[in-house]
Amino acid sequence: MSALKFRLPPNDGPVLSVVDMHTGGEPLRIVLSGAPVPSGNTLLEKRRWVRENMDWVRRVLMLEPRGHQDMYGALLVPSEEADAQLGVLFMHNAGYSTMCGHAVIALGRFAVDYGLVEPQGPETPINIHCPCGLVRAYVSYSGGRSGKVRFQSVPAFTLCTDVTVDVPGYGKVVVDISYGGAFYAFVSAERFGLDVCTSRTRDLVDAAAAVSDAVKAQVTISHPDSEDLAFLYGTIITDGKDAYSEEPTANICVFADSQETVCGDYKAVIVEVSGQAHYTGAATFTLESDDPLKDGFLLK
């Protein structure tokens, strides 16, 4: 059978080229071309400009019919940091995040493979400027092939502990709020009569979403570096085990719809994370002006 030949008809809308990757199953869609260059002198200014003037890119690539509820994206932008080889803005189904570990791991490989940095073995260092700050990644490189990636994130610190919030449907709930590139509320699954490993995912997600809504409404969050970082990104439901023990722990993170350091006045630590990302494909997406669903829609 001869190969089918197909040619896209003349198109009167934007054309966006992307490469898709995943890190442990978490997807990342990296924009290669077709998106305007954001305005702004700093990465955070660019993030605000994209949110206010260029949100169509996020909707087109993250939502149906080209994306899905769990799609995650990376828009490469110029960085004002002299030490950065790569500047990036993160996007998802509900907006724009300030940090993403699985995306950084994928971007490390991408930067080496797409010639953004000169590869060297056994590890290629790359500084990635994220909205939360400069993240230092190290990409394993051997035999002409990139591999695992480890990275050192921005200073992580505890904003407050034992904060009581009134959560509709659940009553008074005590949470801790910490920052590691984004702010999260932490609460044990036992508080809701749930188990991280055996309870229905829907029940865990509902509880976490309710906590997030309550914290956003009742707790004032601030960041010592920028008010653009001062918002709750999500809630992490934990298994209640001692985080300092050597026993493995489990948690579920719900967001969107050992080095001593300091961050402002907060004692902080630098966290190192490692993992492996893989490529899943590349695509070119088009928008036709007469398509009633060209801007995307979301199925929950």
Which of 197 and 32 is assigned the larger pLDDT? 32
Yes or no: say if 114 and 126 are a contact pair by the CB < 8 Å rule: no
CA–CA dist 75, 84 (Å, integer): 15
The pTM for the full model equals 0.85
In this prediction, residue 285 carries a pLDDT of 95
In this prediction, residue 6 carries a pLDDT of 64
Task: Give the pLDDT band of residue 240 (cuts 50, 70, 90).
Answer: confident
pLDDT in tens, 175-233: 999 998 889 999 999 999 999 889 998 999 999 999 999 999 999 999 988 888 889 99
Place of tokens 């994130």: 153
Which of 5 and 198 is assigned the larger pLDDT? 198
pLDDT in tens, 104-156: 999 999 999 999 999 998 999 999 999 999 999 999 999 999 999 999 998 88
Residues classed as catalytic: 100
Q: 294: which residues sit within 8 A by CB, 6+ positions away?
A: 13, 60, 287, 288
Q: Domains plus CATH for the chain?
A: 15-153+274-286 (3.10.310.10), 156-270 (3.10.310.10)
Yes or no: say if 202 and 254 are a contact pair by the CB < 8 Å rule: no
Q: 116: which residues sit within 8 A by CB, 6+ positions away?
A: 85, 86, 110, 126
Give the mean model confidence (pLDDT) for residues 267-285: 89
